[in-house]
Amino acid sequence: MAFMPPQGPQGALQAPSSPPPRTVPQKPLSTTFAVDPGAIRGCLFRNTYVWLRNGTGFWFYPVFVGRTSVAGFRWTGFFWMYTGIDLQRIEVFTCF
């Protein structure tokens, strides 16, 4: 059985209704070569701060986890934008 992302009345994905926390969490130590889908699955539908291997960090609200990627809403600083991320690009994450 495949996981289906949350959908609204017209089948549209539902972004969070409010912005993420204002403060950026402290970056955890990175000790892995790749993020495990099972680990990030625990962050589904929760505010999650993601640090990519290129040094970029941002708030993310995951709604779907696949074998090699995660999809959800990325906070741009003004609004939530739907996006997908290859798990190999993620250095470390933390969710609340």
Measured CA to CA in angstroms, residue 44 lies from 54, 55, 62 at distances of 23, 23, 5
- The answer to the question of residue 12 being in a domain is no
* Rounded-to-integer distance, Cα 41 and Cα 43, Å: 5
pLDDT of residue 29: 87
In this predicted model, what pLDDT tens digit does every residue of 10-35 receive, in sequence order? 456 799 999 999 999 999 987 667 78
> Average model confidence (pLDDT) for the chain?
89
pTM of the full structure? 0.86
Q: Name the helix (H) or strand (E) containing 69.
A: strand 69-75
- The answer to the question of residue 5 being in a domain is no
Residue 5 has pLDDT above 60, yes or no: no
Q: How many domains, in total, are found in the chain?
A: 1
- The answer to the question of residue 66 being in a domain is yes
In this predicted model, what pLDDT tens digit does every residue of 54-65 receive, in sequence order? 999 999 999 999
Residue 4 has pLDDT above 90, yes or no: no
